[in-house]
Every structure is written in C-alpha cells, then in structure tokens.
Amino acid sequence: MIEFTHQIPTKIIFGPDKLGQLGTELAAFGKKVLVVYGGGSIKRNGIFDKAVESMQEAGLTWFEQGGVEPNPKVTSVQAGADLCKKEGIDVILAIGGGSVIDCAKGIAAAAFYDGDAWDLPTHKAPIGRCLPIVSILTLAATGSEMDPVGVISNKDTEQKLVISNPALRPAVSFLDPTLTYSVSAFQTASGSADIMSHIMEDYFVDGDGSMYMLDRIKEGMMKTVIHYAPIAIADPTNYEARANLMWTSSWAINGFTGALCNCEWTNHMIEHELSAIYDITHGLGLAIVTPRWMRYVLDDTTAPKMKEFAVNVFGVDASLPDKEAALKGIECLEDFFFNKLGLKSTLTEIGIGEENLEVMAKKACNGKETLNGWRVLTPAQIVEILKACL
C-alpha cells in the first residue's frame, strides 16, 4: 500500500549573492551563533567574510569551531558541544560540505546532553532537544543541507555511525551554486557519485518500496547527474551544471524519493565501514562498491529492475533480454564513475587490501545477522562483494 508522511520544513534560499539575508535568518533564533567550518576553504574563497559581514549587520555575536575533518570525528562534535554550553549558543551556522553540516548536527544534539557525545550515535542515550541549524552549503553531495541525518566517526573505535532526528534538519539552508565553483574535480566527482548512490539505494527496492511516479523522477535525477557532473568537472564555473548538481543533491536524500523505501542502504552500510577504518572519501568508496554489488545481486529476480535502470537511465536497447540489458547498464555505470568522472576503480588502487574484509562485512550488518537491503546479504556474501572491489 502506498502511504507515507511527508514533511520537509527546511527553508531553501537558492542562488548567488543571498548571504545578505543570513544575519536576519540567524537572528530569528537568537543572538549567539556558533560558526562551524572545515579545513579552511571558506576562509580562502571569501565565504566566511561574507557571513561575518551579514552577522555584524544583524548585531549578532559569533564563536568559531573550525577544523572539522572530512568524515567528521566525535572529538570535534564534543568540542563544539562544550563551547555551546559554555557560551550559551542559540543557533549553529554550518558553512561547508556534508562533513561540516553533519558535525553541526552532532553538536546541535550534544549541546543539550550532559554525557559523552558518542552516546548519541551509539544509542546509549536518545537525542532530545537540539539547537537549530542554519547551513551554507559549499559542496553538492550528501544532501545534509536538507535531511535529518548526520554521520559521525570515532577514530578510537573505528566506527562511523548515523544520528537521525527530525530536529536535525537544518531550519534554513543557503544553496548558492557559485560557492561550489572552487570544489576540486575529485570532490565534484565523488560528490556526484554520492548523489547517484542516494538515488540508486532508493530505486532498487521491491513492492511497496516502489512507485511509478517516483521511479521516473529518480531516473530523471540520475540522468541529471550523469549529464552535468562531467560538465562541472571540465568547466568548474559552469553555473547551470553546478546548480543542477546542487539541487539534485538536496532532493536525492531529503525523504521525497525515499518515502516508500523499506530496506537498508546496502552500499552505504558497506562504504561507511571502509571510511570508518581507512578514512576514504565517501563518494569514491560508493563508486567502487556499487557496480560490484549490482553484479553480485543480479539474478532472475533483480534483472527486470536493473534492465529498467539500464534502459531508462543509460538508453540501453530495450529489446535485449533482461540480464543482458542489466549487465550493459552496469557497464555504463562503471564507465560513468571510472572514465567520465575519473574516479579510481578498485580498493587496491586506494591502498586497501584484504586485511579487514571480514571485520568490515560483519560491522556492515550493524549488530544483526544480515544486511537487509534490496537483497539480504550475509557477512560472507559482503566479503565476496568486497573481494570483487580489490
């Protein structure tokens, strides 16, 4: 049966030169702002200065939590939460990509929790009250700017875990495609692979998880990424390409396309274990894993949906038998990730060997016997998929 609740309250302010409104948007939540950012790209490209100007005009006071790492660490979350408590912060301003926004979500939740911030991703404590978040997105990829999820890593335990709560959706997100002009070719490629994967994880579902209208929209979104990502890589200041990627990133994971998805995200669960141990770029890991997963689960029951993907997304000949068309679709996906986007195609190339395959496969099941995606996988089967990635 088709039934769901749809509520996406994030206010989106899309387009260039909108940061003049930032101070007013922040002031709606109070006077004291914690600005969270990463390794310094926002200071080099002038975004920080524009944000400061607008906060000054609105008479706000701000504190800084910089240095948030890609695959943000719980230590950054804890430091930010401690600062919020000490200074009585009213609202968090996250300026950056998914790592910065996710870290801000961790801080927003931990700011009202008296224990260790790691208790929240490990479910030792429930997420309660959260600080409001305003974001300025600088990299089109994760969709964190419009979703209720944050992904936090712990180096000591080699875990990468999700926090999720409706209160963690940013209240306001500024989406200015020109702010992504400075994103490197590699991060543009990885981000585009991540967007593709978000759509695919919700596309490859059965029965109640599927809906004709949503499937056609998802195919349109995938075609958008396939069309515009190579353009953005070749021509980084192409506004049309950057704008299309940015808006697709938000809608790929904000709950709209996944409203009916009834299973776990297989490739994400596997990739999170890769980046938990090896700290690799998320989208790169997804690009390596996804085609191998598709080949592994391809059988008579999955072939029809994979053929639909091949025909509708990559224009594969619809008259081919299901499995043949499905395989051609997988080849097209590999060509997109590894030739058009230029991403490395194996784990070996990025320095990952056989040493942790069993550990990662077990952890990908997240405490259960199996990983319950489109096709249920045992740890031994996940090892087979990872071996195919080497």
39's contact among ligand NZQ, Zn ion, none, with CB below 5 to 8 A by partner kind, is ligand NZQ
Which one of 138, 173, 244, 267 is in contact with ligand NZQ (CB under 6 A)? 138
Residues 162-181, one symbol each (x = binds ligand NZQ by CB under 6 A, - = not), give -----------------xx-
Count of chain residues binding Zn ion (CB under 5 A): 1
The least CB distance from residue 192 to ligand NZQ, in Å, is 10
Reading the block at residue 45, the tokens are 């490209």
Output the CA–CA distances (angstroms, integers) from residue 220 to 49, 198, 236, 313, in the order listed: 37, 14, 22, 8
Beta carbon of residue 44, minimum distance to ligand NZQ (angstroms, whole number)? 8
Instruction: Please identify which residue in 109, 127, 149, 313 interacts with ligand NZQ, judged by CB under 6 A.
Output: 149
Subset of residues 210 to 249 that bind ligand NZQ, contact rule: CB under 6 A: none
CA distance 52 to 199: 35
* Radius of gyration of the CA atoms of the chain, in A: 20
Type of residue at 352: I
Chain position whose Cβ is nearest to Zn ion: 194
Q: Which two tokens stand for residue 7?
A: 């509520």
Indicate whether 102 belongs to the interface with Zn ion (CB under 5 A): no
Euclidean distance between CA atoms 147 and 102, whole angstroms = 10
Site for Zn ion in 179-218 (CB under 5 A): 194
How far is C-alpha 360 from the geometric centre of its chain's CA atoms?
Answer: 20
Q: Does 329 bind ligand NZQ (CB under 6 A)?
A: no
Helix, strand and coil content of the chain, in percent to the nearest 5, comes to 50, 10, 35
| Contact flag: residue 273 with Zn ion (CB under 5 A) | no
Both tokens of 63, joined, read 């504190």
Closer by beta carbon to Zn ion, 194 or else 219: 194
Q: Which CA distances in Å does 319 have to 215, 301, 310?
A: 20, 18, 12
**Interface with ligand NZQ by CB under 6 A: which range of 19-27, 77-85, 97-105, 379-387?**
97-105
Between 90 and 194, whose beta carbon lies closer to ligand NZQ? 194
CA separation for the pair 262, 258 (Å, rounded)? 9
61 pairs with which residues across the strands? 32
By CB under 6 A, what part of segment 261-280 binds ligand NZQ? 268
In Å, what is the CA distance from 272 to each residue of 75, 128, 277, 283, 284? 18, 25, 9, 10, 11
- Site membership for ligand NZQ, residue 144 (CB under 6 A): yes
Nearer to ligand NZQ, 30 or 66 (CB): 66
Name the site residues for Zn ion (rule: CB under 5 A).
Answer: 194
Name the site residues for ligand NZQ (rule: CB under 6 A).
Answer: 38-42, 45, 70-71, 96-100, 102, 138-139, 141-144, 147, 149-151, 179-180, 182-183, 187, 191, 194, 253, 268, 282-283
